[in-house]
């Protein structure tokens, strides 16, 4: 058995999610090889070679892969992937975008968003916004899988010494092009891997009021999140949405402020170790999952919390 | 220009999901069913493109049991022109859905295919991408903005880092995210009119697609449930608990 892990990387650096995906691959068992595909991604490949448990790194560095266009990535990965028993990527927006194409090109199913490995062909995955967990078995010759990174402890970023091999390939489908990007810049930790997350909901009333939460986030070294309602209302950008259709987070501490706790929101954060809810409505469903609930007006409680930290 | 929209019948998103005691699945008896919310957004986008004069015909297709005609009719009431139901009582997995849709694409030759990015039952987020791969079309997934420009379509996509815009040669596949639009409700006159719109019944066999599910669900369980914790009296107690009991700050 050999497993091909597609690395998450950005601006030449390997993203932490790759360590969780390698961890899932090790749970499947067998040789773990990592593909780094992109443009100017050599240093990410170097970093991947150092990751614990990786036996080989393949690097496909070409302008055709520069913007991670699914049309081009999928051609490459379907080609290379034929030689493996499993092809695995993180369930971030890049993996979700190109990996189903790979599965279709290989005429196999994709098993999305696994949270546990039962055996080399059997996996657990949440369905119905996490209200049920399905155990699924695949009879395909190649298993194509996306991994919910929060469900797997990362392997060590150092300690390995895999060989790096260059893949000479420029697969360009020629039917799509990158136009522009608006990438949020932040000095805070990344939402999906932060140890503390402070999230605001509709109760925040406007984007300006999110500054109150920023103060707390900065003091705690936390990432900032939001409910869908807060994003839809334009208080904060879409990359902050936590939930069934946003990001999945599982920090040590999740602080939900002015969030009611709809099932679609819980789907994204109920794996957190400790949950704090601040809400003025004592009946709010968020209190059913909160370890510590504070029934209070957030406009009084948040400044107090900020002052006390 | 012609648009094909795929819609799925799923459990209504407000319904509390219950796992069957024998762990074979989720209990769907007497449960309210509806169109998948992301599919509603797909239909709405097609209708808006038609209202702008960009699109001349909207064909909507669904796959499922006979009752899924309801969701096709709803789409017709929202403004689609013609419906197709690929009737089957079998469980149809994402790759087979994509193969069935490919057969429809070959027949209908749409310039654009719009689907929801995921269905709220299986949460797979695969079908649009698979259809695009099988037909060789480019894809704009998780779309928050769609703008047709000549023989290209510009799609703004919601990604983990923010937003990215891609230009796709048509024919192309678009999958919808939540912020693409806010779907309208069907008006009573339009619901009446929809009853007269054509709805073609077909089947996987008619389309020469053999269903070959490769995934078997061995069991379905309740997730580990969290216990509600305690209420703290004030901010001071909260900080004390976080520091000394939970030890997370
Ligand atoms: C298909 C689909 C997918 C979805 N995906 C997601 C998703 O990924 N993520 C997500 O979050 N949602 C998602 N939703 C939306 C979800 O159903 C809820 O609508 C949303 O989570 C509500 O956000 P909220 O809690 O901020 O707002 P509300 O439900 O309006 O809650 C606001 C809360 O703030 C409290 N509040 C107000 N003022 C104050 C104050 N001064 N002090 C203290 N508390 C106050 C109120 O008591 C209330 O509990 C999805 C919905 C659908 C249909």
How far is Cα B235 from Cα A18, in angstroms, rounded to an integer?
38
Q: Pocket of ligand 1, candidates A91, A202, A288: which has the most ligand atoms within 8 Å of its Cβ, to mutate?
A: A202
pLDDT at A186: 85
In angstroms, how far is the first alpha carbon of chain B from the final one? Answer: 58
Does residue A2 have a pLDDT over 90? yes
SS3 content of chain B, % helix, strand, coil (to 5): 30, 30, 40
The arithmetic mean of pLDDT across residues A161-187, rounded, is 95
Q: Judge: A309–B162 Cβ closer than 8 Å, yes or no.
A: no
Residue with tokens 């034929």: A82
**Partners of residue B179 in chain A, C-beta under 8 Å:** 231-232, 238
Give the C-alpha separation, A32 to A37, whole Å. Answer: 16
Taking CB atoms and an 8 Å limit, are A179 and B165 in contact across chains?
Answer: yes
For residues B180 and B145, the answer to whether their CB atoms sit within 8 Å is yes
Would you say A7 and A34 are in contact if contact means Cβ atoms under 8 Å apart? yes
pLDDT in tens, A208-222: 999 999 999 999 999
Q: Hey, which of A255, A265, A290 would you mutate to test ligand 1's pocket, going by the most ligand atoms within 8 Å of its Cβ?
A: A265
Distances (CA, A) of B217 to A139, A244, B214: 11, 21, 10
Mean pLDDT confidence for A284-308: 97
A224 Cα–ligand 1 center, Å: 16
Evaluate whether A133 touches A141 at the Cβ level (below 8 Å).
no
Helices (H), chain A: 17-28, 42-50, 70-81, 93-105, 210-220, 228-232, 263-269, 298-308
Element (DSSP H or E) covering residue B175: strand B172-176
**How would you write A160-213 as a 3-class SS string?**
CCCEEEECCCCCCCCCEEEEEEEECCCCCCCHHHCCEEEEECHHHCCCCCHHHH
Q: A-B interface: how many C-beta pairs under 8 angstroms?
A: 259
What pLDDT is recorded for position B225? 85
- The whole-number pLDDT of residue B229 equals 95
Dihedral angle of Cα A95, A98, A101, A103, to the nearest 10 degrees: -30
| Chain centroid to CA B174 | 11
* Chain A interface includes B135 (CB < 8 A): no
B216 touching A (Cβ < 8 Å): yes
**Each residue of B127-178: pLDDT tens digit?**
999 999 999 999 999 999 999 999 999 999 999 999 999 999 999 999 999 9
Alpha carbon separation from B177 to A226, B128, B145 (Å, rounded) = 17, 12, 9
Beta bridge partners of A223: A197
| Structure confidence by residue, pLDDT tens digits, A88-103 | 999 999 999 999 999 9
B172 contacts in chain A (CB < 8 Å): 175
Q: Is A41 helix (H, G, I), strand (E, B) or coil?
A: coil
Res B214: pLDDT: 98
- Measuring CA to CA, which residue among A88, A210, A75, A198 is closest to residue A142? A88
Q: What is the pLDDT of residues A241-290, one digit of tens each?
A: 999 999 999 999 999 999 999 999 999 999 999 999 999 999 999 999 99
Query: Rounded to a whole number, what is the distance in Å from the CA of B224 to chain A's nearest CA?
Result: 9
**Ligand 1, CB cutoff 6 Å, lining residues:** A 201-203, 227-230, 241-246, 258-260, 262, 264-265, 268, 279-281, 284, 297-299; B 13, 37, 120
Alpha-carbon span B54 to B18, nearest angstrom: 43
Provide the ipTM: 0.96
CA distance A72 to B132: 12
Kindly tell me the burial class for residue A268, based on how many C-beta atoms sit within 10 Å of its own C-beta (0-12, 13-18, 19 or more). buried
Average pLDDT over chain A, rounded to whole? 97
Instruction: For residue B14, give how far its alpha carbon lies from the nearest alpha carbon of chain A (Å).
Output: 9
**Do the chains contact at B125 and A96, CB–CB below 8 Å?**
yes
| Backbone dihedral angles phi then psi of residue A223, each to the nearest 5 degrees | -90, 160
Q: What's the token pair of residue A39?
A: 């443009």
pLDDT value, residue A75: 98
State yes or no: pLDDT of A138 exceeds 90. Answer: yes
Q: Is the pLDDT of residue A185 over 90?
A: no
**Tokens 């614990």 label which residue?**
A52
One pLDDT digit (tens) per residue for chain B, 249 residues: 999 999 999 999 999 999 999 999 999 999 999 999 999 999 999 999 999 999 999 999 999 999 999 999 999 999 999 999 999 999 999 999 999 999 999 999 999 999 999 999 999 999 999 999 999 999 999 999 999 999 999 999 999 999 999 999 999 999 999 999 999 999 999 999 999 999 999 999 999 999 999 999 999 999 988 888 999 999 999 999 999 999 999
Quick one: pLDDT at residue A286? 98
Question: Is A200 a residue whose pLDDT tops 90?
Answer: yes
CB B46 within 8 A of CB B55: yes
Give the residue carrying structure tokens 């986030």: A217
């Amino acid at each position: 058995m050999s497993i091909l892990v597609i690395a998450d990387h950005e601006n030449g650096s390997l993203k932490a999610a790759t360590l969780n995906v390698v961890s899932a691959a090790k749970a499947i068992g067998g040789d773990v090889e990592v593909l780094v595909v992109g443009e100017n991604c050599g240093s990410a490949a170097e970093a991947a070679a150092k990751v614990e448990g990786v036996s080989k790194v393949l690097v496909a560095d070409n302008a055709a892969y520069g913007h991670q266009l699914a049309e081009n990535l999928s051609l490459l990965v379907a080609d290379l992937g034929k030689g493996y028993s499993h092809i695995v990527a993180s369930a971030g927006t890049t993996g979700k975008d190109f990996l189903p194409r790979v599965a279709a090109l290989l005429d196999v199913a994709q098993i999305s968003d696994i949270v546990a490995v039962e055996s080399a062909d059997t996996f657990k995955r949440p369905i119905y916004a996490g209200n049920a967990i399905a155990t699924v078995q695949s009879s395909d010759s190649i298993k194509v899988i996306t991994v919910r990174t929060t469900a797997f402890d990362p392997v060590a970023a150092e300690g390995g010494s895999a060989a790096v091999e260059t893949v000479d390939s420029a697969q360009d489908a020629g039917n799509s092009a990158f136009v522009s990007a608006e990438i949020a810049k932040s000095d805070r930790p990344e939402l999906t891997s932060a140890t503390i997350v402070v999230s605001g909901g509709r109760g925040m009333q406007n984007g300006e009021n999110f500054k109150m939460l920023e103060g707390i986030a900065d003091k705690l070294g936390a990432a900032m999140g939001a409910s869908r309602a807060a994003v839809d209302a334009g208080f904060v950008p879409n990359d902050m949405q936590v939930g069934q259709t946003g990001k999945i987070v599982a920090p040590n501490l999740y602080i939900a402020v002015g969030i009611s706790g709809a099932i679609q929101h819980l789907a994204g954060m109920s794996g957190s170790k400790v949950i704090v809810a601040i809400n003025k409505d004592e009946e709010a469903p968020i209190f059913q999952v909160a370890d510590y609930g504070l029934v209070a007006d957030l406009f009084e409680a948040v400044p107090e919390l900020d002052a006390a930290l | 220009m012609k648009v094909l929209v795929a819609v799925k019948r799923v459990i209504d998103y407000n319904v509390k999901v219950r796992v069957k005691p024998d762990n074979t699945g989720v209990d769907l008896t007497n449960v309210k069913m509806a169109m998948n919310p992301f599919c509603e957004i797909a239909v709405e986008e097609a209708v808006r493109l038609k209202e702008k004069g960009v699109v001349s015909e909207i064909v909507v297709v669904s796959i499922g049991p006979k009752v899924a005609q309801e969701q096709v009719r709803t789409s017709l009431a929202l403004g689609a022109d013609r419906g197709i139901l690929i009737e089957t009582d079998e469980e149809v997995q994402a790759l087979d859905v994509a193969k069935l849709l490919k057969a429809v694409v070959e027949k209908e030759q749409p310039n654009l295919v719009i689907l929801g990015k995921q269905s709220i039952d299986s949460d797979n987020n695969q079908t649009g991408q698979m259809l695009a791969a099988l037909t060789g079309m480019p894809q704009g997934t998780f779309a928050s903005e769609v703008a047709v420009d000549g023989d290209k379509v510009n799609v703004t996509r919601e990604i983990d880092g923010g937003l990215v815009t891609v230009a796709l040669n048509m024919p192309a596949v678009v999958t919808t995210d939540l912020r693409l639009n806010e779907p309208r409700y069907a008006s009573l006159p339009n619901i009446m009119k929809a009853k007269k719109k054509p709805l073609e019944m077909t089947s996987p066999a008619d389309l020469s697609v053999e269903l070959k599910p490769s995934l078997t669900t061995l069991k379905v369980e309740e997730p580990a449930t969290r216990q509600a914790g305690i209420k703290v009296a004030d901010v001071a107690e909260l900080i004390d608990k976080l520091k000394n009991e939970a030890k997370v700050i």
